[in-house]
Amino acid sequence: MVTEPIITTRGLTKTYATRRGEISALHKVDLDVAPGTFTCVHGPSGSGKTTLLLAVGGMLHPSSGSIQFLGRDLYAMARSDRAKVRSEHVGFVFQLFHLVPYLDVIENVRLGGGDGSGDDVRALLRDLGLEGRETHRPSELSAGERQRVALGRALVRRPSLILADEPTGNLDPENSVEVLRHLSAFRDAGGTVLMVSHGSDADAYADRVLHLRDGSVSEDASGAPSAVAGRPT
């Protein structure tokens, strides 16, 4: 059975114009992401990881090339349709959590949208190990808890795709594993994860590991196909 990719990029190129001239962030990236998979893209600082996620998430217009989301050209559609695709299908998780400091945990999760009941949100928080923290503000939480709140905000609308930008970059190993387990559980339930990272801590959880170097993506450092990593239980 052939499964249609959830994301297809062809010739995806992004060049930033700056006062000092042009900076090439992505250069002709061809990428297919199958639904229900966990893909991790590695790359050093400045290699274009955040640029890739922003473009795939419909938030950054490519300079050239195309991005298809479930077979629809994301940047050929009206801006309002792109926003709709994003809000209906995509959840974001960032390295620095980006929680609203004056809102409590439940209110931060609710910012993700969705029409779930208070019970649904409480159940989600329980799954994320945040029971008892519902009325805490971000400043009253550990870094690991903050990132799990951010995961809750990404998951609450039941997206098809989670885009995660170095979600473990500010966490200790124990909390990193916790976040990676939640991302793999989302994948096991049929969701798709596209994560970027400069470290290799997610490799054991990913179905596919890719490398971004100087704006180009390859299966591994030498260009050879990567093995499918095992999934720890």
Ligand X SMILES: Nc1ncnc2c1ncn2[C@@H]1O[C@H](COP(=O)(O)OP(=O)(O)OP(=O)(O)O)[C@@H](O)[C@H]1O
| C-alpha–C-alpha distance, residues 196 and 45, integer Å | 11
How, if at all, do strands 208-213 and 216-218 pair? antiparallel
Q: Which is nearer to Mg ion, 52 or 180 (CB)?
A: 52
Applying CB under 6 A, does 102 fall inside the site for ligand X?
A: no
Q: Which is nearer to ligand X, 45 or 139 (CB)?
A: 45
For residue 208, give the nearest of 226, 221, 222, 191 by alpha carbon.
Answer: 226
| Subset of 38-57 contacting Mg ion (CB under 5 A) | 49-50
Applying CB under 6 A, does 43 fall inside the site for ligand X?
A: yes
Please identify, among the stretches 44-52, 72-80, 102-110, 172-180, the one whose residues bind ligand X according to the rule CB under 6 A: 44-52
For residue 160, give the nearest of 54, 227, 220, 70 by alpha carbon.
Answer: 70
Applying CB under 6 A, does 23 fall inside the site for ligand X?
A: yes
Q: Which is nearer to ligand X, 47 or 108 (CB)?
A: 47
Q: Which of 9, 37, 39, 47 binds ligand X (CB under 6 A)?
A: 47
CA distances in angstroms from 86 to 31, 41, 65, 165, listed in the order given? 19, 21, 19, 16
| Subset of 163-222 contacting ligand X (CB under 6 A) | 198
Tokens of 48: 């274009």
Applying CB under 6 A, does 45 fall inside the site for ligand X?
A: yes
Q: How many CB atoms lie within 10 A of CB 206?
A: 27
